[in-house]
Amino acid sequence: MDKVKVGINGYGTIGKRVADAVHQQEDMELIGISKTKPNYEAVMAQRMGYNVYTPSDKTSKMKDGGIKVAGTVEDMVNEADVIVDATPKGVGEKNKELYEKAGVKAIWQGGEDHEVAGFSFNADSNYNEAIGRDYTRVVSCNTTALCRLISNIDREYGVKKCRVTLIRRAADPSDIKKGPINSIVADPVKLPSHHGPDVQSVIPSIDISTMAVKVPNTMMHIHTVNMELKNDCSADDIKNLLAKNPRMHYLEPGITSTSETMELARDLGRPRNDMWENCIWEDSIDFYEGELYLLQAVHQEADVVPENIDAIRAMCELEKDADKSKSKTNKAMGIGTK
């Protein structure tokens, strides 16, 4: 079978990671990435050997900045079978017309509304529903981690109700524009945060409420999760269940923080210190008055990356079996190898 041609529109935090992951897959060909500025990321893409495309009005600026331009974003879109749009929140929506005109499949990220694609995706939750689709949205990093966790537990024991509090990192490590720098911000103030409805956009049957605050930190989000289950089980049953999924990682002994988790990623020699898995404190898994409790950390820059790869495989009908797609993605990226 011919490799599926993938273009990445928007080469920032998410785009550069998805580009590398696509490049690692045997059944996909990275035809190029788009950059709007001739900055260090454009230089690095070029050094990686990736074709660099740019919006037509930026061509001279890119060339003046020493970047060899492969063509315009329109050229990339016309050449691709599927575009992964990883432009900033709100920009992706504006690109839809371009993709429609070119008749190319497209994947948006969690910053866009569900309606942009009309279908929201998580590989553990609804892979089969993505098969053959033209448009898909990979839900946000927090929602991805919640969908993984909830789907796995729901399939085995039935989830009656979830209550989740999210402590959200305010900005990414490379982000010099966002705050807060000396505050904890209720974001949003009102119930629910977007994460609960976003989980329901992937798993409509789940009863879930979420509240979230942003903290002055760039290293990972933390979720305090509380669930009522339909069927009886023990903390050990949940521990054994989650241990079977390579996209769940029990944190090593002595780790009590996100900073130590990022240090672990460095010790593991992960590319860009990426932790693609839900990072769960095994000892936090417990029952109180019949309800399940646990704590997990989410590496915001990383966990959606394998989901984008599985979404490509489903949409392009490269693999009809969800487990086989996830295994291929995990193996190529080194997920679950510790």
Ligand X SMILES: O=C(OP(=O)(O)O)[C@H](O)COP(=O)(O)O
Ligand Y SMILES: NC(=O)C1=CN([C@@H]2O[C@H](COP(=O)(O)OP(=O)(O)OC[C@H]3O[C@@H](n4cnc5c(N)ncnc54)[C@H](O)[C@@H]3O)[C@@H](O)[C@H]2O)C=CC1
Q: Does 120 bind ligand X (CB under 6 A)?
A: no
Half-sphere CA count of 220, side-chain side, radius 13 A = 26
Residue 87 touches which of ligand Y, ligand X, none (Cβ within 5-8 Å per kind): ligand Y
Least distance to ligand Y, CB of residue 201, Å:
14
Q: Does 193 bind ligand Y (CB under 6 A)?
A: no
- Show the CA angle centred on residue 6, arms to residues 127 and 273, nearest 5°: 75
Least distance to ligand Y, CB of residue 73, Å:
6
Instruction: Kindly report the length of the chain.
Output: 338
- Applying CB under 6 A, the span of 20-28, 105-113, 230-238, 253-261 interacting with ligand Y comes to 105-113
Q: Any catalytic annotation for residue 147?
A: no
Known binding residue 290? Answer is: no
Q: Does 11 bind ligand Y (CB under 6 A)?
A: yes
Q: Which of 204, 309, 316, 220 is nearest to 262 (CA)?
A: 220
Q: Which residue is nearest to ligand X (CB)?
A: 140
Separation of alpha carbons 139 and 265, rounded Å: 23
Known binding residue 300? Answer is: yes
Site for ligand X in 189-228 (CB under 6 A): 195
Q: Which two tokens stand for residue 28?
A: 């996909």
Known binding residue 13? Answer is: yes
Separation of alpha carbons 250 and 287, rounded Å: 18
Least distance to ligand X, CB of residue 193, Å:
7
Phi, psi of 319 (to 5 degrees): -155, 120
Separation of alpha carbons 51 and 26, rounded Å: 19
Least distance to ligand Y, CB of residue 283, Å:
27
Residue (10 or 110) nearer to ligand X, CB: 110
The catalytic residues are 141
